[in-house]
Amino acid sequence: MIRCLLWLTLLFAGGAQAHQASEAYVIYRIEGAQVQQRLDVALRDLDRDLALDADGDGALSWGEVRGRWPDIERLAAEGLRFTADGMACTPLDRPTPQLEAHSDGTYAVLISHWRCPSPVQALMLDYRLFARSDAAHRGLVRLEGSAGEPLVLVPGAGQRRLHAEEGRGLGGFIVEGMGHIAGGLDHVLFLVTLLLVAVFRRDGAGWQPRERPRSVLAETLKLVTAFTLAHSVTLGLAAGGFIDPPAAAVESLIALTVLLAALDNLRPFVPGPRWAMVAVFGLVHGVGFAGPLKDLGLRGGALVLPLLGFNVGVELGQLAVVALLLPPALLMRGQPLYRRAIVPVLSAGVAALAGVWCLERAFGWQWLG
């Protein structure tokens, strides 16, 4: 059990880039036999595959992107193909080079127009973007003006059907939510710091083991419930466009919550019950969770089922972390090694990493790559 916890620490420490899930956004507009396709692809993903940063300064200039636009077009054309009702469509133009800021960075935007043999009823999508370089990449696709749910496309998983009258994709958004937790190192480490001392009770300026497992489970339930309720509120508000704080500020605050939680593990200083702190911090994390849904631009009824599925996936991801870490912590809570070595070492490591994130996100630095 001790080795398991230490192995997890090394695993977490190896992931420097928190909260950088790889997603592309596709929007189709159908007008009779005409189809408009808009594909938004993150520059960080394009740079990984195409080495766009010619001068190696760690920042992509407009000149570097524009100069490689034919390569970007070729990669996009190979990664996303469609047919209309089983028939090929003819391209009418080439995408004009342009960029747009999303919640998690800058994206290349490729807008193309197509003529199909007859009025389009449904599209069959063959999505292979970044299939070789990033197994975790996903494409989020919707049909403009449709009440149906967006589709979550897995590269190389076969063709998917997109129809204006069909509502699909709930299961895909559940998986997307789980993947967002798995890929969001800052969110995972926040949960880890909470679980490390959920087996303890405050004793002045320190911690003492809880005597009964029932007390540990009750404390864990309070923490997880407070976090879930809080982040669900701001997730819905941010995804629906009711709140839209600057992404850089949100990411910096998320790192700060991880730092404060880890420091509180080392020497309790946050007043009041810990679930209250978790609820306040959860409001910040909820805004961070909303990125993939917010960038789809869904509103009203079209947002309900994707939001539900995504949130369920986030909760399942959280429960997986709890199921992995709580049992060994529960068994070891009375051992001096756990209280005097494992918890302080893990908490100090998380605090150091979160401190670096705070500086990186606040000032735009890139220390961890």
User: What is the DSSP secondary structure assignment for residue 118, as one 8-state letter?
Assistant: S
- Which two three-digit tokens encode residue 122? 């449904």
Cα atoms found within 13 Å of the Cα of residue 137, Cβ hemisphere only: 23
Mean pLDDT, to the nearest integer, of 192-197?
Answer: 95
- Which two three-digit tokens encode residue 129? 């973007």
Least-confidence region, from 11-25, 168-182, 207-221, 321-335 = 11-25
* Domain residue extents for the chain: 2-17+184-363, 23-168
Q: What stretches of 59-138 show up as alpha helix (H) in DSSP?
A: 62-67, 69-79
**What is the predicted pLDDT for the residue at 330?**
94
**What is the predicted pLDDT for the residue at 1?**
44
| DSSP assignment string, 334-356 | TSHHIIIIIHHHHHHHHHHHHHH
| DSSP assignment string, 151-213 | EEEPTTS--EEEETT----HHHHHHHHHHHHHH-HHHHHHHHHHHHTTTEEEETTEEEE-S-H
Cα end-to-end distance, the chain, whole Å: 31
- Which two three-digit tokens encode residue 332? 């070891």
Mean pLDDT, to the nearest integer, of 306-332?
Answer: 91
- Which two three-digit tokens encode residue 285? 């994390």
**What is the predicted pLDDT for the residue at 191?**
94
User: What is the DSSP secondary structure assignment for residue 130, as one 8-state letter?
Assistant: T
Four-residue CA torsion sign, 128, 134, 135, 137: negative
How do residues 3-49 score in pLDDT, each as one tens digit? 444 444 444 444 444 445 689 999 999 888 999 999 999 999 999 99
Mean pLDDT, to the nearest integer, of 207-214?
Answer: 92
Does position 364 have pLDDT exceeding 80, yes or no?
no
Does position 143 have pLDDT exceeding 60, yes or no?
yes
Does position 2 have pLDDT exceeding 50, yes or no?
no
**Average model confidence (pLDDT) across the chain:** 86
How do residues 235-253 score in pLDDT, each as one tens digit? 999 888 889 888 889 999 9
State pTM to two decimals.
Answer: 0.64
- Which two three-digit tokens encode residue 1? 């059990």
**What is the predicted pLDDT for the residue at 154?**
92
